[in-house]
Structure 1
Amino acid sequence: MRWWPEPTAGDILWCHFPDSIHPKPKPRPSLVTLVGMDKESKIIVSVAYGTSKKTDRLYKGEFRITKHENPAAYLSAGLSYDTKFDLSKIINLPYNNHYFSVPPHAPYGQNPKLGILHPSMVKLAWLAYSRSNA
């Protein structure tokens, strides 16, 4: 099992976001909301689900990063497609190669980091999170 170096809240990672039991084979962007350690001092990350599907419609707890609405945020995130993140779907995962992998273009070297949440998106992310818990 390979463990990756510690990410930071706001990082966007290449994640095999799991169903209720197993990691899914198709990796997707995920937004790190919190970083911690387990009892064995292994890194655990809280990540929000990201998808490029139905980005024209936002539901409770979602915000999007698009190439045309905010090119700087899109570039900073390292995305290949317009993407929305669902902050009502945050899960805790061990930060290892079982759930995370190196993206195809590997912008940060041999680790799962795609990019970072641009400062202009923080308020939108916070509002989406606040609405997901309302």
Structure 2
Amino acid sequence: MKRATPFQPVPGDIVFCKFPEALAATCPGPKIRPALVVDVSKDGNRVYVAYGTSQRTEQLYPGEFRVDDAASMEMAGLCKPTKFALCRKHWLALNEEWFVVPHKRRFGQCPKMGELSESLAPHMARAVETMRAARF
């Protein structure tokens, strides 16, 4: 049985997880990566997260926004520019199978890396607009 994490995330948290390779996947992906918490289930047992990557951050597609200024990266717990794809989200069980404690344990023994800066709200809103315009 997979143990639930003692951590209760909130929207805007950046977490370390094994985001699945396919949206229909039921098992964790092989790579640990940052993800943006978009929502949390009412019972607190599942987390809706958006995919994060540090690859090709200079190119943004509909539904994506980038965290690349030093202050925002520090607040998010990111060591390099990262983009989040709001069009690529997945509900994950809040347990050790899916979530991993990062090397820098700024928040103790939990998967939280940091949180999204309020200054990124307009960028995230634009990502939502482009995603809707593209009909994702």
Identify whether the pair has TM-score above 0.5, normalized to the shorter chain: yes
Deviation at 1:19, TM superposition (A): 2.1
* Structure 1, unpaired ranges of 5+: none
Q: Is residue 42–residue 94 contact of structure 1 (8 Å, CA) maintained in 2?
A: no
Please tell me the residue identity of whatever aligns with 2:10. T
Residue aligning to 1:32: 37
Q: Is residue 63–residue 84 contact of structure 1 (8 Å, CA) maintained in 2?
A: yes
Q: Report the TM-score when normalising by structure 1.
A: 0.90
Deviation at 1:89, TM superposition (A): 0.3
Deviation at 1:74, TM superposition (A): 0.9
* Structure 2, unpaired ranges of 5+: none
Deviation string, structure 1 residues 85-119 (Cα, Å, up to 9, x no partner): 00110111111111111011121110000000001
After the TM superposition, list the runs of 4 or more consecutive aligned residues in structure 1 that deviate by more than 3 angstroms: none
| RMSD of Structure 2 on Structure 1 (CA) | 1.2
In 1, Cα distance between equivalents of 2:102 and 2:17: 9
Structure 1 residues 24-103: aligned runs within 5 Å: 24-37=29-42, 41=43, 43-66=45-68, 70-103=69-102
Of all paired residues, the percent bearing the same amino acid is 41
Residue aligning to 1:125: 124
In 1, Cα distance between equivalents of 2:105 and 2:30: 18
